[in-house]
Amino acid sequence: MTKTELLELIKNGENSGVEFKRDTIDNRAMAKELVAFANHFGGRVILGVDDDGSIAGLTRERLEEWIMTVCRDKIRPELIPFFEIIRDVEPGKDIAVVQVDRGWAVHHMWHNNHRTYYIRVGTLSREASAEELERLFQQRGAFRLEVRGVSGSSMADFDYRRLRDYFERVRQQAVPPGEPLLGDIKNQWCTLLVNTEFLIEDVDCRPATVAGLLLFCANPNRFLPQAGIDAVAYPGKEKDYAAKERLSIRGPMTALLGDEGIVENGLVEQAVEFVRRNTGVASSLAAGARLEQKWTYPEEAVREAIVNALVHRDYLLSGTTVELSIYEDRLEVISPGRLPNGITPQRMLTGCRAARNQLLKDVMRDYGYLEHMGMGVPRKIVKEMQKHNGTAPDLIEDGELFTVRLWKK
């Protein structure tokens, strides 16, 4: 970093990625700031600068050695920061820059045999709440919410018609015969559901897992109010109270199939039908004077966007559902939660794959909702939209929301 770049950084003040400190702080205060940055998106601690941006300069001897000792002894897992000293920022006053990147693990400060997790919120570094800590571990891939038991649920909450269809037709394996909640048959079902991670092995209550309820519960919203899709069709290009149709789409993700096709729709089929009845069909003459009908949006692209939103959303965010919005000029599918495991919209376009909810992904792929190659975004969304009307979809990550936007030509 040059002196000019540093002065510009100081001029702009503290923010989510910059903290000013004198180098007289103790090792715990230093560890707290570095842990908070590593648990966020990385950041810089500028040593030798007061909170108001005035230059105090460095006073501590063997500063680099002290920093590295803090990162080794007070932080778990240990951090190796980038360290540099900028000389004579003001006459006779040096400044040190200590920079850490976003951690691949969740870091904590270790002091007196006690661990404390910190996060960065604006210009403050503070202790993480239980909910924030869960989300951190989930983002780093160390915690799987989907196989966690849901309090109050049990084997009785499953739709066994869907379970039989899944195991017998989709997976082509035998299931226990007879009434699923009686006697030895119940024990056999219990073993099967525990082994497939749809049920928790708990002697007292045996709750269903999040994934089990989302996939196969007749009424998952009884336990998971964030499950489902809120769909709205607007008459214009902006949100409007006078919507053409509003629908709360609820129920299990999976459809129930019979000998003659779908018996009961799942969330995906309900959402696709909503799009069909709220978008038009254009007719044009194809080669040979043949009349050809064309939907406003290609069904493959719409279906992929909906499935991805349901499978990859952050179910720890309990206050919001997936949103499906149809406007005069576009269609948007909004999924709660940041993209998982270092994925970015740019990496998605190249086919980079990572799953927040691997079990949901696996089961939906078993049904054929998802490609086995995991290339749905470039192959189904991007390619189908380009072939359909020559437009490129927008993939937008904004805070705790991820949006797929399809344009009407």
Task: Encode pLDDT of 353-384 as tens digits.
Answer: 677 889 999 999 999 998 766 678 888 999 99
Average pLDDT over residues 104-118: 92
Domain co-membership, 92 together with 203: no
Residue 169: pLDDT above 90?
A: yes
Q: Which of the four pLDDT bands, split at 50, 70 and 90, describes residue 204?
A: low
Residue 316: pLDDT above 70?
A: yes
Domain co-membership, 154 together with 117: no
Residue 202 lies in a domain: yes
Could you tell me the pTM of the whole model?
A: 0.71
Residue 70 lies in a domain: yes
Taking alpha carbons only, the member of 40, 51, 15 closest to residue 123 is 15
pLDDT at 144: 81
Domain co-membership, 215 together with 349: no
Q: Mean pLDDT across the chain, nearest whole number? A: 90
Domain co-membership, 117 together with 31: yes
Domain co-membership, 241 together with 380: yes
Domain co-membership, 236 together with 341: yes
Q: What is the pLDDT of residues 82-96, one digit of tens each?
A: 999 999 999 999 999
Domain co-membership, 196 together with 216: yes
Residue 340 lies in a domain: yes
Domain co-membership, 38 together with 176: no
Share of the chain above pLDDT 90, in %: 72
Q: What is the pLDDT of residues 267-276, one digit of tens each?
A: 999 999 999 9
Residue 104 lies in a domain: yes
Q: Which of the four pLDDT bands, split at 50, 70 and 90, describes residue 282?
A: low
Q: What CATH number is associated with residue 329?
A: 3.30.565.60
Domain co-membership, 292 together with 367: yes
Which residue pairs, CB below 8 angstroms and at least 24 apart, start in 389-398?
393/301, 395/345, 395/348, 395/349, 396/345, 397/338, 397/339, 397/344, 397/345
Residue 364 lies in a domain: yes
pLDDT at 364: 94
Average pLDDT over residues 152-158: 92
pLDDT at 283: 58
Domain co-membership, 82 together with 174: no
Phi and psi at 201, nearest 5°, equal -80, 90
Label each residue of 183-222 as H, E or C.
HHHHHHHHHHHHHCCCECCCCCCCCEEHHHHHHHECCHHH
Residue 259: pLDDT above 90?
A: no
- Give the structural domain span for 201: 146-220
Q: What CATH number is associated with residue 116?
A: 3.30.950.30
Residue 136 lies in a domain: no
Domain co-membership, 103 together with 18: yes
Domain co-membership, 281 together with 391: yes
